[in-house]
A and B are shown apart, each in its own frame.
Chain A
Amino acid sequence: MTLLSVDRLSVTDRAGHVLVDDVSFRVAAGDRTGLIGESGSGKSLTALAVLGLLPRGLTATGSVSLDGADMIRAPRGHGDVAAVVFQEPLTALDPLMTAGRQIAGPIRRFRALRGDALRDAVREALDAVRLTDTDRIARSYPHQLSGGQRQRVAIAMAIACRPRLLIADEPTTALDVTVQAEILDLLDRIVTENDTALLFITHDLPVAARVVRDTHVLQSGRVVESGPITSLVTAPQHPYTRTLVESARRFDAALERTGRD
Chain B
Amino acid sequence: MMLDSIFFYVFAVMILGSALACITRRNVVYAAVWLINTLVGVAGIFLLQGAEFLAGVQVVVYIGGITVLFLFVIMLVPVREESLQRRFASQKWIAFVACALLMVLLATVISQGVSTFEVAAPRIPAGPGDITQNSQEVGYTLFNEYLLPFELASILLLVAIVGAVTMSKTGAAEGEG
Say whether A and B bind each other: no
Q: Measuring CB to CB, which residues of chain B are less than 8 angstroms from any residue of chain A?
A: none
Q: Measuring CB to CB, which residues of chain A are less than 8 angstroms from any residue of chain B?
A: none
